[in-house]
Amino acid sequence: MAAGEGKDEMDRSGISGRVAVVTGAAHGIGTAVVHALGELGATVVAIDLDADELAEVASTATGKGRRVLACPADVADSAAVESAVEHAEREAGPVDLLVNVAGILHPGTVQEIDEADWHRTFAVNTTGVFHLCRSVSKRMIPRGRGSIVTVGSNAAGVPRQGMAAYGASKAAATLFTKSLGLELAEHGIRCNVVSPGSTDTPMQHRLWDERGPVPVIAGSLETYKTGIPLGKLATAEDVAEAVVFLLSDQAGHITMHDLYVDGGATLRA
């Protein structure tokens, strides 16, 4: 990298000096987003239910000279979310950026999944997005600025066996985020979605059998699932880079967009 190139990149992105809230920050894509934003000079308020892992993420980032504040909270709890956002603005300053990454997956057919897992899936993946967006956007509106990205899933747009609850919850979060973008456009606030496909994270690993990622990449005729044309899983950093782009000033005229980061797996037009 040439001298000054890093600074120019930060200036172009407009991320440096901004305050970001990132949920699901203790693992996988959320952790990658925390590090990517911190590297660009943002102050990141990291939210997750897993307090121990969250503290480790914050400690690691701080050790690299990044400003990351750990704020344990359950996104499904509206009071906890409001308290966390109040804490973020008090300790770090006005929130400019929000990334909804927190998500859970309970695989199973419609006959297999129980009501508790169904409700918890929507509580985190959909209602959690609502809680954060409502709390943060009401503060963004008077300031006339802000950028919100929700991490959805390509499962929101393509039927998958054993993933009805997860796909439905992500589809709801996707349409919610786009609708919010329409409501907030007059206030200069952009709302977008990044929809990953199979990504090399702990959540993905829990779905594997002894063959590892091979069937995921190859696809399955038996379950009507396409493989991944690029022939590899995404990394958490691949998804984080897409998130950062949509947050940044470089995407300043993009809102209500759903960016698929899936190696071509959904064959979208």
Active site residues: 166
Furthest CA-CA distance within the chain: 59
- In this structure, what are the phi and psi dihedrals at residue 244, rounded to the nearest 5 degrees? -60, -40
Can you count the helices (H) and strands (E) in the chain?
Answer: 10, 7
* Sheet with 189-196: strands ordered across: 67-72, 43-48, 19-23, 97-100, 146-151, 189-196, 258-261
What SS3 state is found at 189? strand
Residue type, 221: L
Q: How far apart are CA 101 and CA 120, in angstroms?
A: 16
Q: How far apart are CA 79 and CA 82, in angstroms?
A: 5
Q: How far apart are CA 119 and CA 133, in angstroms?
A: 20
